Amino acid sequence: MSDVRHHFFTAFQTTPALAVASPGRINLIGEHIDYNHGFVLPAAIDKLVQVAIGKRNDGAIHMFAIDLKETIIVQIKDVEPHPIQWVNYVIGVVHQVIDQLASQPNKANNIQNEILNGFNISIQGNIPIGAGLSSSAAVECAVLFALNELYDLQLTKMEMATMAQKAEHDFAGVKCGIMDMFASLFGQKNKVILLDCASLAYQYYPFDLTEYSIVLFDTQIKHALASSEYNTRRIECEQGIQVIQKKYPQVQTWREVSFEQVENCLGSSTRTPVNIYHRCKYVVAEIDRVQAAVVDLTSGNMVAFGKKMYATHEGLSQLYEVSCPELDFLVAAVKDNENVIGARMMGGGFGGCTINIIKKTAVDHIINEVANKYSKQINQPLAVYLTSIEEGTHLIK
């Protein structure tokens, strides 16, 4: 990427106060589990969003999207959801900051007054859009981190993660869990994060890629169902646990639900719609699978870890029903190859990427083989990204 500060100067004829980089994320295992209070295993990657920022004094926010060559101006006192979606990732976190300051009268009033004076911001990135790598969370975290530095808000990373999540809910309209924002902010080089999405406790685990590479196969397809079905799955899981809680009132979250309880309350002998039964069956299995996968990492058993990725994909495709023919094709294309120890769809589903752990010696051959098969069968070119695990959101020196 070119220097985001240079583009800022070109757009606004002034030098930015600072610049921030915020990464996209991969999730090794634990898909659609963050909003179900389970465990996830994400990591920050080498694909980034960068922002440069500087203060104004006229109450306006001037936003320049470098890659789109688009400038949008809004008044900071009147921020509300915008018809242009990328704008919502910026002003959504601004709204969160203003709300946070208003709820904390002990904070100096001059901070709020400064923010209300507005700012200039330029934004660019190389995270593929629609690939399931959380480009939206990267924008939100970059902007929030920049505002935190610019105005010395003294927000913790955890506060920023929850604020960015709420911005996604309120302004982007996606009722996502906290994983994407958390991974973007908390990422560490060559480490994955076991995040407990109920307590937000977390622990880092080294991810040994001495022999392997992480390769993403991008379908370059995004079916129209993606956003609406994401919210539907969340509702279905909520409906399922409510049924279980009627019989087992001690149950608070999916973490406390057993397979036996799912069968008793939601199985074929009940009147529960089969789709709700399937969603809930997947959630309980995946929560167990993530915890077992961490044991594999601790013992250095990458092959066992990879098998669990394949099992996750099968659950996402057959039970949770968020896959699509293109994603299923890509996983099937590598499943019997001894050089691919694990593969699955990643992200919200209905398109985007599969994540593959491939022996380094076989990467080029497998990429060529899968790309040719995909082109012939799906009649669509395959995009491929080799990625590495890198640091989370940080100032650009």
Of the listed 180, 196, 208, 288, which one is catalytic? Answer: 180
Determine phi and psi for 379, rounding to 5 degrees. Answer: 60, 45
Look at the chain and count its residues: 397
Give the span between the Cα atoms of 197 and 190, in whole angstroms. Answer: 22
Give the span between the Cα atoms of 133 and 125, in whole angstroms. Answer: 12
Query: Measured in Å, how far apart are the chain's first and last C-alpha atoms?
Result: 15
Give the span between the Cα atoms of 296 and 309, in whole angstroms. Answer: 12
Q: What sign results for the dihedral spanned by CA atoms 96, 235, 231, 282?
A: positive
For the record, the structure tokens of 309 come out as 């990725």
Q: What is the DSSP track for 256-292?
A: G--HHHHHHHHSTTSSS-HHHHHHHHHHHHHHHHHHH
Closest CA to 45 of 195, 173, 170, 215: 215
For the question of residue 34 being annotated catalytic, the response is no
Which run of H or of E encompasses 195?
Answer: strand 191-196
Give the span between the Cα atoms of 49 and 1, in whole angstroms. Answer: 10
Give the span between the Cα atoms of 383 and 193, in whole angstroms. Answer: 27
Give the span between the Cα atoms of 63 and 51, in whole angstroms. Answer: 10
- The residue type of 122 is S
343 neighbors 359 (Cβ within 8 angstroms)? no
Cα angle: 247, vertex 248, 250; to 5 degrees: 150
Catalytic residues, by residue number, are: 180
